[in-house]
Structure formats: structure tokens, C-alpha cells
Structure 1
């Protein structure tokens, strides 16, 4: 309300002090008296005319010259704050012969301006978009060497401004305890407003990073009872995450407990899921049993959710075996469906990368015999690659033998089908990369009969280039290779540079690996832009 009531007492720097145009004159009068109506010129019956058009009055220029300050104040003021007098044709006329009515209007406006000036002596002078003169000068670099002590009584305003917020953050990083206390005392009463502000939330976060233990405890107390609402808010959720990183374990548990009963709601929220993840990362495992319990009831649903798949992965990373094993058992029951889901496949990949050997073997065993089918799937092919990469020696041999099985003709060869597929060809490339020399030689022999047809397919050419890379890198393909290093192992195939240019990655490789921005997000929450 104070900000709305504050108006400029002088024109902004960009505004000219020259005469008003006819349109400005007209707008000036009609914004003051939107309902005022007078007779038209030459119309005898009063009250039956139109709104007055000040620009039609020859006297206005003289009146304006005598009352320039009042006129500018009216132009710059909010129309809601302008005085609105009740005028009648008897007291105010717009005819050239009776200009006193306009004088009365401007005098009335001057009185209103004087009253406003008295009110504004008790509050900061405001400009443009309700900024104080101090903040406006800072933003326009007219106050380039401000210190924290120079903006006393303006800390909240500065915190909610993009440039002011950055200024306070930078100063707090190296401020003295007395300076931090100065800022704290002024903003603590507005902490909830700042926590949910696009720029103010960063100032609160800085206090959790650089404030004293008393400051952190005080702001944590301000969070009490508001954790759920803040967790679901775009900027409040960032404050909650920073608080969880900075406060005591007892306060962490107290804060996390406020989400009990709303865990799934938070997990499925674009902001709340980050708070749940941070609870899992920061709290002791036994303190978040209520989170694990709610997740366990909906493992498949949450694994296939864009935000839920993140939470499942955090639980697998940070919780005890007794908490994770029931979740893993649920994942094993629906492995084949999960690997074909756009989000669920990342959960299975996570187990293959970070799980224990038994869980890895269970997944590989579940997918064994379905390598050809799943390798041609947009999402499942990524999981098959991880199986080949993280399998033990025996399991990897089984997977490679599976794709090498069958006849060498184009219709009955699994390997040929995979090599010309837009997704499966990357599984073959991964097998070539991780295979032992004997296994790689077997793959080479299976590929040789299809060289000419593979050259017709974009993805087939990738396989041929991969084999050439290994051919020139080692002598494992027999005496012919050792005797003639300049001859391609593949008849009729031109020699490609074994090391692709680092600035020209394979476009198909990039399109195939759909890195999950949801599942692998590293949020730097202190950035504006």
C-alpha cells in the first residue's frame, strides 16, 4: 500500500519539460475527472453534452504555463491517487469566456499534491516502478560504491531486485558479523516474502550458507509450519533445499516430518521432488522411513514418472539395504516393462551401474534371450548397452554369443539385423568395444559376409568404421593385418581416420543417447539467468 501511494514529484529524467501536446493535455484533464461532463459549445441545455476536451480550450496553454509543476505531477501520478472533485456546469465551464473553471481544477490538484508530499515525507521517495531513489541510483550506477551500511531500511527492497539481490549476496560472503546482524534484523520479519521471491530467495539462501548459527536457527524457525507450501513453490523449494544442507540433524528431521502424508504429492511436483531428494540425501536413513514406505507402495508408478524416477535413484544411493531391497525386488518383478519405458529405463540403468553384483546378474538374466528385440527399442537399447558394459566376463560372453547365433544369410542373422538398425547398431558397437580379442574376432568373422550390403546403410557404416579402428589399433586379426597395415580389413572399404575429429561427433550417436535431464540434473540453484 505504501508503494502504491508513492508517486513521483518530478518528471523522470527521460521526460522533457516542454509544453504538453494536445493529447497529453486532454489525457491530463480526463484522468483527473473521468466522469465530468459539460455542455457542448453552442449547446444551451446544460448537462446534455460530452466530456470536456481540454485541448479545445485556447486558455489552457496560459493556465498550463502558470501551473507547470502541478501539471507534471498530475501526469506522473497514478490516476487512482488523483483527486476527483464533484463539478457542475454552474461552477466550472469549458467555454473560452469562463476559464476560471480550469484554474479551479489545477488549484484543486495542487492541494492534492501538497497533501501527498506531506505523506511521502514519512516514506522513501519512489520512482518508475515503485523503486526508491536509492535503488534507482544504484541500478543506474549513480551510487557505485555502496556498502551494506548505506542501504539500511532498504534491505528488503534491494533483496527483491535483481541487481540489489546480487549486491547483498556478494557483500554477505565477506561481511563482518555486525554487518550480517544489521541485514538479518531488517529482513527476518519479511523472510517468508523473500523466500518466495524470484530474487529474494537467494539472500535467504546466503544466510544459510554464511550466516551465524543463530541466524540459521532463526530462519529455520521461520520455515516451521510452512515446509510443504514452500516445497511446492518455485523459489521456496530452493530455500528448503539449502536449509537442509545447513541446519542440524534434529532440525532436518523436524523439517522433513512436515512432509509426512504428502510424500507422493511432492514427488510428482516439479518443485517438491527436489525437496524429497534433498531429504533423502541429507537426513539419516532411519529418519526418512516414512518416505521409503510411501515410495514402496508405488514403485512401478514412480519409476515411470519423470520426477519419481529421480527419487527412486536417490533412495538406491543413500538408504540402507533393508530399505532398498524391497524396492529392488519390485523393480526385478517388472524389469522388462521398465526397460522399455522412457523414464523407467534410467532406474534399471542405475542399478546396472551402481547396484551390487547379484542385482546386476538378475537384470541381465531377465533380459537374456531378448537382446535382438530390446536392442531395437528406443529406450531398452540403452539398457542393453549397460548390460554389455557392466556384465561379468561370463555374462558378456553369453550376450555376444546370442547375437552371433544363427545363419550368416541376411534373413537369419541377428547381428546383421542389429547392425543396420538405428538403435541396435550402438549395442553392436559397444560389444566390439568391450569384447575380448577372441570375441571380437568372432564378431569380425560374422560381419565379413555383410560388408557390401552394410555400406548401403547409414548405421551399417558405423560398424565398419568401428572395426577398422580396432584393426589398425592392434594386430589381432591375423598375419594379413600385421603384414599390411595400409590395407583395410574390409574388402572395398576405404580407410577412415581411426580417431574422429573431436569437434565433429557422430550425430547418430548423439541422437541415440537420450540423456535424461530429469534423472541426471545437477541444479545450481544460486543462478539468476
Structure 2
């Protein structure tokens, strides 16, 4: 069999499998013979759906000097090899075995066409592994590589595959180069704040905020601060707001809550799916009066009717059971002894006599007559009395209220998504 016949066979399913099976059983000299037949067609085979497996198998069993020969032949056209769906697999297979000078040769070709290598869906896989090799074997090549990326940031920020390259560099590169790259990225985003909420760049912004330096976090926060109301309602921008709420400093979280926790903003957030998720993230950070305000807005928007009847009844029973706790009984007795009105409860529409009726039922150990829609108001008045009496025993009721509002928002979002279908 001549080399053309062998290569043609390797490009078929059965022929490829037959050759691979025989290489597994072959002696080193037999493997060398197969290599001699295929070396002249190695690029064509590497880019073939079946032939690439044969090349990978030969490389696995080849002697060190033969592996070097195969690598040198393939490195003559890195772009063609890596741009192939199948060729990129071969490149990824040989990369771990290459020396530093060979990695440098690949990098020279990559840097000349950095945008293609970073944005192509197949070359991208090779690039991620190449960066790891560059950092470990060719640190002197890092500055050229990073600078080439900085020159084409606009192309990178707009492409999801290229964004993976930037994230890899942020993780792997030296601190000095990493700092320069992050500064270039943040400057680019500051010039065009809409990038923050794009489908490709938001994950980078979240990464820099959660794992960057204090200076990185401060710059991102300032970029988002003026647009926080809009970002909180967007599909991708809301992830950045959630990140600030979960990992930000107390001062930053307070600024976000102050900005979003008002009737106009809450109504706007609750009118969209992603804004609703943002409100859910806020719930654990809100105090009871603010939670009641959220519920009131849900009521006005007719959203509170979304919660299933069984879930609502179960919640009422849980609340009533909680009123048996000694700390809650102490709160009720404190109200009955004082007999004063409380401004937040009154502002929410709770009359003195309704509150008195609830407190009297709790004090006597009787079942509190409570409608589902009264739950937030009930917890609000207990909270206000507890604060006045310096009684801290309302953690469980507050958690009930949070779960209740979360359930309403979830059911509303589910209902809305079904109606759109």
C-alpha cells in the first residue's frame, strides 16, 4: 500500500478505526513506518473528521524525535490547523509535548492575526491552552501577546469567544501585565458604559468586581451607580447589580438599596422578569417596613394574587404557629400594656383596634384570625412594637415574610412566561 492509499483509508470511518487498533498493537518500528507513509499528508489528515484520530494515535506512540518532526511539520501552518474543527484537536493533543521555543513559534503566528485566533470558535480552544503554556514556558512572550490584545480590545469585547481569552489572561498572566490589561478594559468600558450590560462583557465585569482589586471594584461601582435602575432590570446588566448586592461593601450595598428601594423604582423592577429577580436578591437585605412596601406594590399591581391557594394557607398556618412563641407573646403583652398607636402601622392602614384584636388573641393563646393579604401588615405591627419594646424575637417572622414575597414574585414570573408562549 502506498502513502496515498493509506491516507485515503485513514479518512474513512472503518479505515481510521482499523489503523488506530493496529497502532495500539504495533512495535515502535511499525509505528515509524506508518509515520513515514503519513508525514507528507499530515495537515490534510489532521483536518479530517477521521484522519485526525490517526494522527493523534501516531503521535501518542511516536518516539521523541518523531514527535518533534510531526510538530515541526504541523507548525508550518498553525492557522489552517487550528481553524479546523478537527485540526484543533490535534493541536491541543501536541501542545503539552512542545518545548518553549516551539511555543514561541506558534505565538509569533498567533500575534500576527490575534483577532482571528481569538474569535474563531475552533482556534479559541487552542488559544486557551496556549496561554497556559506561554505563562509557564515563555514568560518573555507575554508582553507582546497582551499588547496585541490591548490593541484590539473593541473586537474582543464584542465577541463571546474572545471574551474567554481575556478572562483566561486575567487569571493566568503576571500581575503587572494583568493590571495593565484590566486598566485598558475598564477605560474602554468607562468610555462606553453600555458595554457593562452587553451579553458578552457582563461576565468580565462581574469577574473584575468579585475578584479584582479594591480599585477595580470602585471603578466598576462608579460606572454602574448612575445607571443602576436600568441595569437592575436588564437580562445581563442585572447580574452585575446582584454581584454588588452579594459581595459589595456595606456602603456600596446601602447606596444600591437606597437607589432602588422606592416606590417608583420597585414598581419598575417588578414589571420585568429580570427586575423581579433583582428585587428577590434585595429582600434579604431589607427591613420589615421595606418588605411591606414591596408587598404593597405587588398588591397594587395585582401580582399578590399569583401565589397558589395551598401555599398561602400553609403560610398562614406557619405564621399562626409562630405566634405561640414566648417572644411573640411578650410583644403582644407589651402592646396591650402600652396601648399606644404606632406610626408605620397606621401609615400602612392598620387601625388601632385591628392591631389590638390581633395582640389580644396572641396574648390569650387563641388563633389569630388572619387573611393572606394581612400577613405583611401583621408582621409590620409586631416589628414596630418589638423595636419600641427592644424585643429582638422576630427573625423567624421576617423570614416568613421574605419567603412569602419571593413566592409571589416567582409565581408571577412563571405566569408571565407562560402567557407569552
Residues 369 and 402, structure 1, Cα contact 8 Å, conserved in 2: no
Task: Please state if 1:247 is matched with 2:98.
Answer: yes
CA gap 1:498/1:250 in 2 versus in 1, 3 angstroms? farther
* TM-score, normalising length: structure 2: 0.66
Residues 165 and 200, structure 1, Cα contact 8 Å, conserved in 2: yes
Task: Please state if 1:431 is matched with 2:282.
Answer: yes
- Residue in 2 aligned with 1:237? 88
Task: Please state if 1:282 is matched with 2:113.
Answer: no
The 5 A counterparts of 1:17-416 are: 155-169=6-20, 177=28, 180-209=31-60, 211-284=62-135, 285-333=139-187, 334-335=189-190, 336-404=193-261, 406=262, 412-416=263-267
Task: Please state if 1:446 is matched with 2:329.
Answer: no
- Residue in 2 aligned with 1:10? none
Aligned-CA RMSD value: 4.5
Long gaps (5+) in structure 2: 333-361, 377-399
Q: What secondary structure is seen at the aligned counterpart in 2 of 1:234?
A: coil
CA gap 1:403/1:180 in 2 versus in 1, 3 angstroms? same
C-alpha separation in 2, matches of 1:165 and 1:385: 51
C-alpha separation in 2, matches of 1:508 and 1:175: 64
C-alpha separation in 2, matches of 1:446 and 1:245: 59
CA gap 1:491/1:210 in 2 versus in 1, 3 angstroms? farther
Residues 345 and 383, structure 1, Cα contact 8 Å, conserved in 2: yes
Shift of 1:220: 0.5
C-alpha separation in 1, matches of 2:31 and 2:369: 71
Q: Which has the higher helix share?
A: 2
C-alpha separation in 1, matches of 2:368 and 2:174: 54
* TM-score, normalising length: structure 1: 0.54
CA gap 1:375/1:217 in 2 versus in 1, 3 angstroms? same
- Residue in 1 aligned with 2:374? 491
Shift of 1:293: 0.9
C-alpha separation in 2, matches of 1:219 and 1:507: 57
Residues 195 and 201, structure 2, Cα contact 8 Å, conserved in 1: yes
Shift of 1:306: 3.2
Q: What secondary structure is seen at the aligned counterpart in 1 of 2:159?
A: coil
Q: Which one has a bigger Cα radius of gyration?
A: 1
Shift of 1:507: 6.2
Query: In the TM superposition, what whole-angstrom CA distance separates every residue of 1:81-114 from its partner, at most 9, and x where no partner exists?
Result: xxxxxxxxxxxxxxxxxxxxxxxxxxxxxxxxxx
Bigger relative CO (Cα 8 Å, ≥ 6 apart) = 2
Shift of 1:499: 12
C-alpha separation in 2, matches of 1:300 and 1:444: 42
Count of residue correspondences? 343
CA gap 1:297/1:241 in 2 versus in 1, 3 angstroms? same
